[in-house]
Amino acid sequence: MQLHFSASMRSITISSNNGFIDLMKIKVAACHISYRTLFHTILILAFLLPFAFILTALVTLEGVNKCSSFDCFGRRLGPRLLGRVDDSGRLVRDFYKILNEVNTGEIPADLKLPDSFDQMVSDMKNKQYDSRTFAFILRGTMEKFEKEIRDSKFAELMNKHFVASSIPKGIHCLSLRLTDEYSSNAHARKQLPPPELLPVLSDNSYQHFLLSTDNILAASVVVTSAVQSSQKPEKIVFHVITDKKTYAGMHSWFALNPASPAIVEVKGVHQFDWLTRENVPVLEAVENQNGIRNYYHGNHVSGTNLADTDLRKFASKLQARSPKYISLLNHLRIYIPELYPNLDKVVFLDDDIVVQRDLSPLWEIDLNGKVNGAVETCRGEDKWVMSKHFRNYFNFSHPLISAHLDPDECAWAYGMNVFDLRAWRTTNIRETYHSWLRENLKSNLTMWKLGTLPPALIAFRGHVHPIDPSWHMLGLGYQNKTNIESVKKAAVIHYNGQSKPWLDIGFEHLRPFWRKYVNYSNDFVRNCHILES
């Protein structure tokens, strides 16, 4: 095989070795590059290439050891052409080895840890730490900051618990001023309702609501929101029950601020002849037993190893130790059939709810012979709020609980319930409630911790009729990611949890739904400095 170039360099002929056969003849285009241009090109490349190789070598030594694009091909090729070896991978492996050794070792007792990142950088510069010492400092500093963060979170939970368990100054002021008004103003003491409307209190053609609370401001929001949202407010009767110390103030509020055309009755627990020690012995024990009172009012951190305590479980335990759970007002709902013997159906409302839609259709729901119409809380879009089963409320390591209950059974919500009192009076719900309360007291509260719902879940088993979840939206007091559009659509929104809308710890974006029903122009509200923002 031979190559023959023509004299003009315009063609190349490929022929066999004997020269008799031309295998291929190739024409070459004319060359237009001058020798001067070629010379200048070579001169520029000779000047730039050394810099390019030096730069890529330096970049590689600084740690660029992974590169797959054509752009950084020279970065890896340069050091090799220059005879340099990239040992950054070995350095990283050595440092990993040191970190693993330090992770299992003890931090030296005399090792001084920096208080900030700037101090750590300064110490490294001045003291020239070796890699092992630096690794110990890094580990110790991280553990120190993690402990401080954890301690601050526990402190936050404790402070939040105390705030949630206390009475805000403005609401306490409101109760005192209205109580004083009751003693000095005849209009504040007028009969509720007027004598001519007394028969309505037991008339089953009206829509009867029941509210049990010692919070005057919260009660006003519940009543106002229900009346304003109703299409037939003249058919609404509110039965407000409060304790003895709040009765005068509560009566004054609704006497001076009537919810017309709705009818409001205010009674104190001391005015119910049926509520005697003989009829409620278990609740009397709950309120007065020293061990129980210490549990709810004592030191919530004593004996708790915070280092081994889960934050979420600790928060749940704190919420379960709210003093309201030993209040008779909180247990009154289990005695509704006896307190209102002439009523056939009532809707029970908690004081931390807001009514946003007409609730008249609730009286038309067929409960199919069941006692309690309630929203189930084990299914729904909000997996944080609507994921409650019996396992969330009971201690299934207790033999009585494990023997009688199913951990996967669906829970339901207290706070907005339709009660068929005629069906209720044919059951033993109250007796079941009492018997399980006694057992929990005997077991030193080891069967459940959280207030009135657990014994009610047991007492109402087989007597609950699920109603549509749109009637009752929960979690506005502990779920700060509540969907606002869902809140707007719900008939009743419930601020269950610690972050009540009247507290400073309430979620700011959820407060407007509650605030819109507070009369901030009221003289008593203004004088107690209860402000809208």
User: SS3 for 338-371, per residue?
Assistant: HHCCCCCEEEEECCCEEECCCCHHHHHCCCCCCC
User: What residues contact residue 139 under an 8 Å CB cut-off, 6+ apart?
Assistant: 102, 103, 107
The candidate with the shortest Cα–Cα distance to 238, out of 197, 216, 277, 210, is 210
Q: What is the pTM assigned to this prediction? A: 0.74
The candidate with the shortest Cα–Cα distance to 519, out of 220, 251, 174, is 220
- What the block records as the tokens of 311 is 């934050």
CA atoms within 13 A on the CB side of 207: 23
Residue with tokens 């409320």: 393
How do strand 207-212 and strand 345-349 relate by DSSP bridges? parallel
125 band by pLDDT with thresholds 50, 70 and 90: confident
Q: Lowest-confidence range among 41-45, 54-58, 190-194, 250-254? A: 54-58
23 band by pLDDT with thresholds 50, 70 and 90: very low
Spell out the domain ranges in the chain: 119-164, 169-528
Determine the Cα–Cα distance for residues 278 and 202; give it in Å rounded to an integer. 26
Q: How far is CA 389 from CA 26, 407, 436, 467, 485, in A?
A: 86, 7, 18, 17, 26
- What the block records as the tokens of 4 is 């023959």
Looking at residues 509-522, what average pLDDT do you find?
95
What kind and span of H or E run contains 494? strand 492-494
Q: Select the more confidently predicted residue: 263 or 52.
A: 263
Mean pLDDT of the chain: 82
CA 277 to chain centre: 39
What kind and span of H or E run contains 267? strand 263-268
Whether 514 contacts 354, CB under 8 Å: yes
Q: How far is CA 296 from CA 290, 292, 320, 326, 476, in A?
A: 10, 7, 9, 8, 24
The candidate with the shortest Cα–Cα distance to 6, out of 24, 35, 26, is 26
Residue 222 has pLDDT above 80, yes or no: yes
Determine the Cα–Cα distance for residues 275 and 260; give it in Å rounded to an integer. 30
Written as one string, the DSSP assignment of 19-31 is SS-EEEEEE-PPP
Residues in the chain: 533
Q: Select the more confidently predicted residue: 23 or 129.
A: 129
Determine the Cα–Cα distance for residues 387 and 113; give it in Å rounded to an integer. 44
For residue 214, the SS3 value is: coil
For residue 335, the SS3 value is: helix
Whether 217 contacts 174, CB under 8 Å: yes
Q: Which residues pair with 373 in a beta bridge?
A: 418, 465
Q: Lowest-confidence range among 20-24, 39-43, 463-467? A: 20-24
Domain 169-528 CATH superfamily: Spore Coat Polysaccharide Biosynthesis Protein SpsA; Chain A (3.90.550.10)
Written as one string, the DSSP assignment of 300-317 is SSTT--GGG--HHHHHHH
Residue 61 has pLDDT above 80, yes or no: no
Looking at residues 355-381, what average pLDDT do you find?
94
Residue 456 has pLDDT above 50, yes or no: yes
166 band by pLDDT with thresholds 50, 70 and 90: confident
Alpha helices, DSSP H, located in 443-483: 453-459
